[in-house]
């Protein structure tokens, strides 16, 4: 029987152990300059997150998950072997990998991620959901310009954060992420699609936003990550290189965020009634920064 790792709210040890003492956590703290840069620009890139051994463990699990017959597919909240709107390209996208194996489960408890996330959220870190985005060599599809929170308005307040972890070197050639600096200060934009026309975003921008629309490429080495604000406009172009571009994303929010819907927050998850705090089996508390003080 396939194990569901959402029943376990502590790491298995597949990617290593958590720091044993409060002073051991301090090495993962971001500098104040980096925290200020995140709030100014809406993103922070180039944070070292995973080592080669951890990446290899994740890639072994990922290769199995991408097989159509893998038995753990029933555990995913969403599973798209190809979400691309262009039949000539492929965009693998799935939500729920943390439930399927020890490595993807444990990446949620990566110390560098937990400490940085608590600083950027200014509080305790609770899990929202994870994602996989994979573009194969030569014909990997686009991820169209969007704001994450436009898909997350079933949660309030907007106190969210995304960590995008590179499992391969991510470059302009193989479809790296792009951010529009400062766009996290814009209002919530209408949804224009996640895997369609890259130019569709222009139909919902005002003239001032169009003038400010100057995307910057976020090139990362494997094992590095970027963090971004839930209103950050971001996207990525095709992979036309001879290398894959694989990434795992962990989406979190500050503890205390509540449900804004009487519908399931994720497919297959029990309803959290509107107005109730989001918590429980599928939304574990990952980190309380007081652990570094006690």
> Is residue 21 assigned to a domain?
no
What's the pLDDT band for 180 if we cut at 50, 70, 90?
very high
> Is residue 222 assigned to a domain?
yes
Measured from the Cβ of residue 157, the count of other Cβ atoms closer than 10 Å reads 11
CA-to-CA dists, residue 208 to 104, 160, 183, 197, 214, angstroms: 41, 26, 11, 21, 12
Which domain CATH number covers 73? 2.60.120.620
| DSSP symbols for 11-47 | --SBTB---SSHHHHGGGPPPHHHHHHHHHHSEEEEE
> Is residue 35 assigned to a domain?
no
> Tokens standing for 241?
């290189």
* pLDDT score of 19 more than 70: yes
* pLDDT score of 49 more than 80: yes
> Is residue 6 assigned to a domain?
no
Number of domains in the chain: 1
> Is residue 173 assigned to a domain?
yes
* pLDDT score of 294 more than 70: no
pLDDT in tens, 223-246: 999 999 999 999 999 999 999 999
- Distance, in Å, from the CA atom of 222 to the CA atom of 52, rounded to the nearest integer, reads 8
What's the pLDDT band for 1 if we cut at 50, 70, 90?
low
- Distance, in Å, from the CA atom of 93 to the CA atom of 98, rounded to the nearest integer, reads 14
Query: For the residues 175-199, what does the mean pLDDT come to?
Result: 94
> Is residue 125 assigned to a domain?
yes
> Is residue 16 assigned to a domain?
no
pLDDT in tens, 270-280: 999 999 999 99
pTM beyond cutoff 0.85: yes
- Distance, in Å, from the CA atom of 79 to the CA atom of 267, rounded to the nearest integer, reads 11
> In a 3-state reduction of DSSP, which class is residue 175?
coil
**Structural domain containing residue 84:** 42-292
- Distance, in Å, from the CA atom of 99 to the CA atom of 77, rounded to the nearest integer, reads 10
Report the b/e string of 131-154 with b at 16+ CB within 10 A. bbbbbbeeebbbbbbbbbbeebeb
Cis peptide before 221 (omega within 30 of 0): no
| Span of 67-81, 170-184, 247-261 with lowest mean pLDDT | 67-81
């Amino acid at each position: 029987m396939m194990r569901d790792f959402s029943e376990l709210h502590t790491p298995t040890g597949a990617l290593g152990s958590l720091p044993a003492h409060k002073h051991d956590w301090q090495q993962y703290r971001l500098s104040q300059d980096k925290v200020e840069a995140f709030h100014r620009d809406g993103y922070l890139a180039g944070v070292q997150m995973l080592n080669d051994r951890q990446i290899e463990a994740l890639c072994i699990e990922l290769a199995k998950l991408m097989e159509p017959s893998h038995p753990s597919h029933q555990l995913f909240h969403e599973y798209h072997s190809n979400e691309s709107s262009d039949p000539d390209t492929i965009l693998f996208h799935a939500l729920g990998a943390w439930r399927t194996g020890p490595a993807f489960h444990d990446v949620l408890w990566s110390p560098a991620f937990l400490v940085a996330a608590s600083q950027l959220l200014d509080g305790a870190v609770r899990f929202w959901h994870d994602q996989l985005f994979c573009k194969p060599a030569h014909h990997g599809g686009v991820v169209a310009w969007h704001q994450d929170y436009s898909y997350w308005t079933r949660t309030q307040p907007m106190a969210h954060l995304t960590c995008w972890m590179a499992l391969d070197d991510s470059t302009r050639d193989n479809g790296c992420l792009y951010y529009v600096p400062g766009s996290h200060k814009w209002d919530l934009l209408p949804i224009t699609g996640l895997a369609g026309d890259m130019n569709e975003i222009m139909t919902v921008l005002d003239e001032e936003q169009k003038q400010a629309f100057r995307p910057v490429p976020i090139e990362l080495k494997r094992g590095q990550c970027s963090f971004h604000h839930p209103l950050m406009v971001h996207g990525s172009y095709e992979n036309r290189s001879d290398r894959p571009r694989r990434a795992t994303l962990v989406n979190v929010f500050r503890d205390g965020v509540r449900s804004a819907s009487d519908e399931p927050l994720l497919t297959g998850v029990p309803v959290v009634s509107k107005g109730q705090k989001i918590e429980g089996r599928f939304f574990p508390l990952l980190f309380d920064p007081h652990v570094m003080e006690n």
